[in-house]
Amino acid sequence: MRFRVLSQEELQHLEAEFKQFLIVNHIHSDDWKKINESEPEKAVALVELFSDTVLLKVYEKVDYMEFRSKQLFSVYRIHSERIETIHVKSEDHTVSLETDEEISLAIQSIPPKISIYRAEKKVNPFKEDEVHRLVEQGCSKSTDNVWSQFSMFINTSS
């Protein structure tokens, strides 16, 4: 298993796609019922394979992610061979970086305990694995607009 098994809710939303997946793998409705009853480990393996296939397709399309917590906001630009990151970090416990408004206030006033910096790292081994790791760490999908705003801010404040 490369990523994770889709949740029951996710699988329900992808029921038609899962049926297509089974058909492509020469497993029809009656066959699936038999496998579920007599070979549960094979059924689980098929669900795992389907989950990995779906997540791979989703992760391939992700170019931007972000992470928000009280003390840290990070936005990631994900390329096939490298990941660029912009971090806004607060050591002031009265400053929160959880909402757009709070981040905007923090970077406009830039109190002494706020730091903004860039980082970059090589993708290891594949973009999709990096995206999965970021998701597991609590990141969510972001946009080019968020990346551009922070990138411009860093370039103008440097």
Backbone φ and ψ for 155, nearest 5 degrees, come out as -65, -35
Domain count along the chain = 2
Asked whether the whole model's pTM tops 0.75, one would answer yes
- Whether residue 78 is found in the same domain as residue 125: yes
Q: Identify the segments of the chain with pLDDT beneath 70.
A: 110-112, 156-158
pLDDT tens string 98-109: 998 888 888 777
**What's the domain range around 44?**
8-60
Specify whether 151 is located in the same domain as 73.
yes
pLDDT at 109: 72
> Cα separation of 7 and 25, whole Å?
21
Boundary of a domain, candidates 36, 60, 84: 60
| Six token digits for residue 141 | 């999908």
For the chain, how many helices (H) and strands (E)? Answer: 7, 5
SS3 152: helix
Question: What pLDDT, in 10s, does the model give residues 120-146?
Answer: 999 999 999 999 999 999 999 999 999
Give the model's pLDDT for residue 154: 76
Helix axes of 29-38 and 40-60: crossing angle, nearest 10 degrees: 120
Buried b (16+ CB within 10 A) or exposed e, 72-94: ebbbbbbeeeebebbbbebeeee
